[in-house]
């Protein structure tokens, strides 16, 4: 699903946000991305979500090269991803339902289909009764769940989350993480950037750790580059380790 080979991202001024990062997240796999602020987590997610382009190295998403992809194909590749932001990026001028339905409207689904899927996504995050509410009337945790519903409503192959529990209390955080686990359970690849190490520890999933732009710990690193792409199997949760932490 995600394939990075010696990816370096250098910003103007010579600062390397990522240097020689390699990782391979197979289809249906789930992993956590950790590290201090400024370690390069956001940059890595930005490269996958086509916000930034890598300076060097090969970055692929669903076998498509993220460096050479043409501008007009970017939206179509983004439709394969569901992105969950820390500040959830909801639009406050429309209802919860309309926020969640946006990816489906963009992709040209039919009216009935939109209603059906949007309600299913809201149901999944436990907010079906709030579909007519305005986002501003919801609590922080509810807003984050609306963001998740929007990210999954079009059934993406990959879920990316950038600090999804950053502003939430432990109980809510656990609920949010459980939603990710549920999606992973049905075959969606998930990559979550988080520094909530206690929670990550509980969840028993592979961990990637970045430090100053370098990958210092990689549970996914199992010489996968020698194998044929696609020959990779489901994640081995037992291999989990907390690494250097």
Partner 1 sequence: MRTSNRRRGRPATSNKLVAYLLHHIQSLVFSLGKIYHSPITTIMTVAVIGITLSLPGGFYLFLKNINAMSGDIRSTTQITLYLDIKLSEQKARALERAISKTGNVVSTEFISRQASLQAFRETSGFGRSIDTLSSNPLPHTIIVEPVSSADTFAVKNLLNALQAMPEVKIAKLDTEWLERLYTILEIAKRSVVIVTILFSIAVLLVIGNTIRLDIQNRRQEIIVTKLIGATNAFIRRPFLYGGIWYGLLGGLMSWLIVEIGYLAIAGPLNRLNLLYQADLMLITFTFQDFIILVSSSTLLGLTGSWIAVARHLNQIEPT
| Cα–Cα dist 3/59, whole Å | 6
Contact flag: residue 79 with partner 1 (CB under 8 A): yes
Q: Please name which of 90, 109, 73, 225 lies closest in space to residue 149, comparing C-alpha atoms.
A: 90
3-state secondary structure of 57: strand
Identify which of residues 80 and 174 has a Cβ nearer to partner 1 in the complex.
Answer: 80
Contact flag: residue 208 with partner 1 (CB under 8 A): no
Contact flag: residue 113 with partner 1 (CB under 8 A): yes
Identify which of residues 102 and 138 has a Cβ nearer to partner 1 in the complex.
Answer: 102
Contact flag: residue 237 with partner 1 (CB under 8 A): no
Contact flag: residue 198 with partner 1 (CB under 8 A): no
Residue 166 CB, nearest distance to partner 1 (Å)? 18
For residues 31 and 207, the answer to whether their CB atoms sit within 8 Å is yes
| Cα–Cα dist 105/234, whole Å | 32
Contact flag: residue 36 with partner 1 (CB under 8 A): no
| Cα–Cα dist 230/224, whole Å | 10
Options 57, 103, 135, 164; binder of partner 1; rule CB under 8 A = 103
Q: What is the DSSP letter of 228?
A: P
Residue 71 CB, nearest distance to partner 1 (Å)? 9
């Amino acid at each position: 699903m995600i394939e990075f080979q010696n990816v370096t991202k250098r910003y103007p001024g010579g600062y390397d946000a990522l240097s020689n990062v390699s990782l391979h997240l197979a289809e249906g796999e789930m992993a956590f991305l950790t590290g201090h602020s400024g370690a390069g987590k956001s940059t890595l997610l930005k490269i996958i979500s086509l916000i930034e382009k890598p300076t060097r190295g090969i970055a692929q998403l669903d076998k498509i090269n993220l460096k050479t992809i043409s501008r007009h194909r970017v939206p179509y590749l983004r439709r394969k991803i569901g992105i969950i932001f820390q500040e959830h990026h909801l639009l406050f001028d429309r209802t919860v339902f309309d926020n969640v339905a946006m990816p489906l409207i963009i992709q040209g689904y039919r009216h009935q289909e939109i209603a059906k899927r949007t309600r299913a996504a809201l149901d999944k995050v436990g907010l079906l009764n709030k579909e007519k509410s305005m986002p501003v009337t919801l609590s922080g945790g509810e807003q984050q769940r609306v963001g998740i519903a929007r990210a999954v409503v079009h059934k993406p192959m990959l879920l990316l989350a950038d600090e999804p529990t950053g502003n939430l209390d432990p109980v809510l955080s656990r609920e949010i993480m459980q939603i990710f686990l549920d999606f992973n359970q049905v075959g969606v690849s998930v990559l979550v950037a988080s520094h909530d190490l206690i929670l990550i520890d509980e969840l028993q999933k592979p961990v990637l750790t970045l430090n100053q732009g370098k990958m210092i710990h990689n549970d996914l690193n199992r010489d996968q580059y020698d194998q044929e792409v696609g020959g990779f199997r489901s994640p081995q949760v037992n291999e989990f380790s907390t690494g250097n932490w």
